[in-house]
Structure 1
Amino acid sequence: MRSAASTVLLAALLLTSGCEREKREFKSERAESGDRDEVALSSLSPGATPPQVATSGRAATFEGNAYHVAQGKRLFTWFNCNGCHAMGGGDSGPPLMDDKWIYGGTIENIVATIREGRPNGMPSFRGKIPDDQIWEIAAFVRSMGGNLSKNVAPQRNDDLNPFPAENRRPPSPPTTGGQPLPASRGTQ
């Protein structure tokens, strides 16, 4: 009897050790203590060597995690990023859904843009937004252009359409398809 109980306990331990849980940090660092990575804005450089880029390795943590991307979507609205970027389509700020990026389209470039700001309009959010939230917003921005896998990217809201969703529209009577053919022409 005792060996059966120990066998069941051993099997339970083996099964639970094989489970992989998503790790979430609930307390984030302040943006002042954020990474100061050297991020290349372009792959062009003088000479034969490409530009030297030092990354923190945090990109995979935030781009491959659906929770972080969904949080970035929420924060994008909360911090009124859509006020300038018009939900990614561009307005007074550049569009975020296309393949043309002024300061680079990698997540490290986007984090540097949010953290440090850019001339002619993009304010610096260093010290105003915690560093993990900056990475979450950057992961969502990457998802807007379709740069993340589909199992991570959040779905689009109904408010992105220029008209209400089909189930929210008022009912309308059916309309006729066209004018009847004149009797002189006959049927076709």
Structure 2
Amino acid sequence: MRPIFGVLVITLATAACQRESRELRLDPPVAAALDGIRLMPNRIGGAPPQVYTALDKPYETNAYAIAEGKRLYAWFGCRDCHGDGEGGKGPAFLDGWWAYGPDMVSIVASIRDGRPHGMPAFRDKLTREQIWQLAGYVQTIGAYSAKIAAPGRSDTTPTRPAENRAPAAIRFDPGPTPLHPDQGPEP
């Protein structure tokens, strides 16, 4: 009886484990549909394509896609302008303020079409899927809350918190309370 019970427990335990499904690429019609983002008239924010939402936002929730975005971030020299998210010549991602909004559509549009005053367009340098992967990684750098997926570990010296950690809250220390002149030191 005990061996059967043990086998049953092991079977149930392994059946309960669920791995992340990894699709190394999306089919060409899906990739073409991803190019159909609808920006608002001011080119800030907008609606993601229906196929992106129907696929459960694969570039925000898939660790493989985020890791590929991290690789592209290094390969295309994004670190030269944006650093590891703390900024430099380009805007920072960690400060909690994004000029064109922190949503995926705005980030994709910024990477694909470029932005005035220095951000080049990468439409001709990256595939649609790579642009979405890079946008997914950029969004994890400036995430306002911890994400459910994060890229693999880098072998470089860390200069900022991991992508799946929320930024630490800034605490103000007012220091010691000054004494009023009438409350001077006791004799």
Q: TM-score, normalised by structure 1?
A: 0.61
Question: Aligned-pair distance for 1:144?
Answer: 0.7
Q: How does 1:86-125 map to 2 (within 5 A)?
A: 86-125=83-122
Alignment partner, residue 158 of structure 2: 160
2:134 equivalent to 1:137: yes
Question: Aligned-pair distance for 1:63?
Answer: 0.4
Query: What runs of 5+ residues in structure 1 fail to find an aligned partner?
Result: 1-14, 44-52, 163-188
2:71 equivalent to 1:78: no
2:36 equivalent to 1:36: yes
Root-mean-square deviation over aligned CA pairs: 3.2
How many equivalent pairs are there? 138
CA displacement 1:29-66 (0-9 Å, x = unmatched): 5xx955132223558xxxxxxxxx43214261110111
> How far apart in 2 are the matches of 1:79 and 1:104?
22
Question: Aligned-pair distance for 1:115?
Answer: 0.2
Whether the aligned pair in 2 keeps the contact of 1:87 and 1:160 (CA below 8 Å) is no
2:52 equivalent to 1:54: no
Query: What runs of 5+ residues in structure 2 fail to find an aligned partner?
Result: 1-13, 161-187
Alignment partner, residue 125 of structure 2: 128
Q: TM-score, normalised by structure 2?
A: 0.61
